[in-house]
Amino acid sequence: MSNNNLLLTPLKAGDLQLPNRVVMSPLTRSRAEPGHVPGALIAEYYAQRAGAGLIIAEATMAAGDASAFIAEPGIYSPAQVVGWKKVTDAVHAAGGRIALQIWHPGRATHPLLNDGAQPVSSSDKPIRGDKIRTLQGSHDYPAPRRLATAELAGIVTLFRAAAENARDAGFDAVQVHGAHGYLLDQFLRDGVNDRTDRYGGSLENRARLLFEVVDAAIEVFGAGRVGLRISPLVAYNDMHDSDPRGLVQYVAAQFDRRGAAFLDLRHERHDAPEEQELARIARRAYGGALMRNGGFDQASGEAALAAGAADAIIYGKPFIANPDLVERFRRGAPLAPVDFATLYTPGPQGYTDYPALAA
């Protein structure tokens, strides 16, 4: 097959057999029902996109006091497990494969979204330069509570329970969310983590909580069905790190030692020289399926695969407006534009009403 069709070729990612290398990014869409329960609308949405080599479902709450948006889904209650089982059944019936991204926002939330609970983090540093949206309007991010060392085993327990619930809900895999300035990233990057205990200071210490969570997920799913997302240069949620190259080297090597299924390297822009260098580091350190995400189109995705700089490409916005994205790539068909006004609004508009190509 020519290099112009590499996106359409199969891929083995750990224990996952993917029919193509076009992966759907986890995309928060705020369509859950009361109680953060995924309903029929979410099942329809993901089933429409079952042509993806792998769907990574949106950031999903590991605990009841871990909401950072409005109407995002959870995976901590029996009702949520039942709701997600309907989603996975719909995707599987359509011939697809679906992983769940398990997530805790840490400081990137507000008490108004969590019945008054104060956010928690690696430190007491609040997010600066942005506001958070709640049903009571937009607010500054509050200062989080610094988690005590003795509490961190409980965080791992939350993620383990989320993985167990994801397994019971029929997911093919889980992805640990270690990116975008959420809780695990708040421990990983030294722009936030100023701790002096065994979870702070050195990179090994700062990555400790992340890999305790990864190991818990592996205990539930097996290494061949666990993925990880990191975003060392993404500044979202007031984040930075003093040594992103060292971070990628360490995390990718540790993930490789575990034989885990797929590493999602989230770029600010995939074509930026510093981001390309991170991809080269990850490629050398990690022998599993390297998936890259950050502004790729079909041509640049094909080029990255042809160069050996990735094993799969993760697409976000293109999947929002093009439920049949893989078929459009196959035909060389134009892509529909995204209606940004309806990204987070309730109901089917801008969610399940984007049409597929005519047969």
Q: How far apart are CA 331 and CA 88, in angstroms?
A: 28
The pLDDT of 209-214, averaged and rounded, is 98
| 263-278 confidence digits (pLDDT tens) | 999 999 999 999 999 9
Catalogue all structural domains in the chain, each as residue range(s) with its CATH number. Answer: 3-342 (3.20.20.70)
Q: What distance in Å separates the CA atoms of residue 152 and residue 168, rounded to the nearest whole number? A: 25
User: Following CA atoms 270, 276, 278, 281 in sequence, which dihedral angle do they give, to the nearest 10 degrees?
Assistant: 140
In percent, how much of the chain has pLDDT > 70? Answer: 99
Instruction: Give the model's pLDDT for residue 359.
Output: 63
**H helices present in the chain, as ranges:** 40-48, 78-93, 152-168, 183-188, 203-206, 208-221, 244-257, 273-285, 298-306, 317-321, 325-331
Question: Cβ distance 277 to 285 under 8 Å?
Answer: no
What integer pLDDT is reported at residue 1 of this predicted model? 35
Containing 324, the helix (H) or strand (E) segment is none
Question: 0.85 cut: is pTM over it?
Answer: yes
Mean per-residue pLDDT of the chain: 97
Active-site residues, by number, are: 182
Q: Which amino acid is at 35?
A: G
pLDDT, one tens digit per residue, over 171-195 is 999 999 999 999 999 999 999 999 9
Query: Which residues touch 77 (CB under 8 Å, ≥6 apart)?
Result: 35, 36, 37, 64
In this structure, is the dihedral angle defined by the CA atoms of residues 26, 29, 30 and 31, taken in order, positive or negative? negative
CA-CA-CA-CA dihedral for 86, 91, 95, 101, to nearest 10: -120
Chain-centroid distance of CA 299 in Å reads: 23
Say if residues 143 and 123 touch (Cβ distance below 8 Å). no
Of the listed ranges 41-45, 51-55, 218-222, 354-358, the least confidently predicted one is 354-358
The model's pLDDT over 128-175, given as tens digits with 9 standing for 90+, comes to 999 999 999 999 999 999 999 999 999 999 999 999 999 999 999 999
Question: How high is the pLDDT of residue 2?
Answer: 42
pLDDT of residue 358: 84
Please state the rounded mean pLDDT for residues 232-259: 98
